[in-house]
Chain A
């Protein structure tokens, strides 16, 4: 059986005498995991703990079944990390910088050089690869950080606020690149971002942190699938016979007056059949929406929860 991507088991981390992460417990199995939370929620601390930079004061964190504290070295050999803050050697040329780090990951010299060139061209910095990294713009530095994170071919790519400081076209390009990397191989992704859109565009599962505790773990794929089955309609005509006919198909219906109907469709029933039922009964469908419980709603719900979460899902 394949190990889950990330397993947290009562994870507690204390830094400078403060408890930053408080008893996180959860299993994240998806290939692309988003990490959300307001400032100070503990996102970066969680990433640093997964990388073995911080030792848990209680509990454990495992990545692909490897304990972040006791198997840190083996774990880090599987990881490509793009940190949130500036991380470069200013006087080194971009391609040499990536080659240097690839060699530290264990690639032989020639392969490291080859992969560094490929990674640089791949992220779109081919023309700038011989320039010192210190002369790059903020967006280019972000791309250089991505290049060094992928050059050695990791199994898990950890991206901490990857679109920070990027203009909209550059951000779009980076998100496309991340999606492309995800699709092109069996690489897993852990993306921490303040931008819900980034997470929504790239991730299948989201872990929402609040005050060092888990506020929510949500599988976006299932959420999207469930939303596709939920219809909101405005109808005109024989409302009762229309809902009765839909119920005979196995749908659950709720009528709110003025022709407003909400329908939950069972598996196997397609929208086409709803239109057919309406046409058969001479009912006009004047508006039809899928419910879009966006990530923003999920995030806001998680943030609005009152009471102290116990860190469990």
Chain B
């Protein structure tokens, strides 16, 4: 089927491995994202705090620099509190990034009925979701736990001998807390993207899905005199997980049991998967 011949000929070449084909979706989605100047600016802004953290670590470990700045080591401590704050701040940055990227990932394919074209190939619905999920997972990882680990490495390199081994346990809550937050955010975004076609509306719905349940939860707490309403406050649940994960340093003890927080987040993920399962069909079936 060479262009100049204008003849049809069947394809007889090699094929790519089936298990990695979902990554085609991820690659194309990233290519589209990086065409947007707004996205690039947002991504750079999301990484700016990491530079400040790195500068902070450098100062905390450099007596000469402290002397030059006449700070004498006061207020500089790279400890569990530092990494906990880092995780909390960066996951909120990830939330904003997710609100920009997530809403367009699936809606673009559903708006003009392209989904049957994907699913009429040797390509399943779980692979489709995986391909789209990988976009958010990679992107949000790049602004949360990956810089977190790099900063941990930087601190380990600059700090005195033994700091690395005595603080190695922190990498576990750092990665796991970020991972569950990223998973939940991504699945909520994809579920919203599968329902709402307009980007601005979808972004609004993502914000609403975090703010409105939290509000209802507080009303419920107010009426019933309990704290279980906070199960609907995802940001609070995440904070519970992080403070518990980092050994609850210098903070008032969270009321919510940490297992309830984990359970609720997993439940939200399952709910989002259910929504995706309903929406991502090659053909809609009209009941009745």
Which residues of A are in contact with B by a Cβ distance under 8 Å?
15-18, 48, 51, 53-54, 73-74, 76-77, 79, 81, 83, 85-91, 100-101, 103-108, 111, 115, 117-119, 121-122, 126, 134, 148, 150-153, 155, 180-181, 184-187
Contacts and interface: CB of A to CB of B under 8 A. Distances in A.
Interface centre among B32, B114, B288 (most CB of A within 10 A): B114
Contacts of A91: 32, 108
A72 B18 CA distance: 14
Contact of B109 (A85, A89, A118, A181): A89
A97 to B, nearest CB: 8
A117 B15 contact: no
B7 A87 contact: no
A217 B10 CA distance: 29
A186 to B, nearest CB: 8
A122 B6 contact: yes
B8 A48 contact: no
A148 B117 contact: yes
Of the four ranges (under 10, 10 to 19, 20 to 34, 35 or more), the interface on chain B belongs to: 35 or more
6 contacts: A101-B121, A105-B121, A122-B1, A180-B8, A181-B8, A184-B8
B113 A153 contact: no
A106 B283 contact: no
Contact of A111 (B13, B109, B121, B287): B13
A106 B21 contact: yes
Contact of B122 (A15, A105, A118): A105
A100 B122 contact: no
Contact of A16 (B7, B10, B18, B286): B286
Contact of A89 (B9, B21, B108, B282): B108
Contact of B119 (A53, A74, A184): A53
Contacts of A73: 122, 124
Nearest to A120: B3
A57 to B, nearest CB: 13
B30 to A, nearest CB: 13
B64 interface: no
A106 B18 contact: yes
Given A17-B288, A83-B116, A100-B24, A90 B111 contact: yes
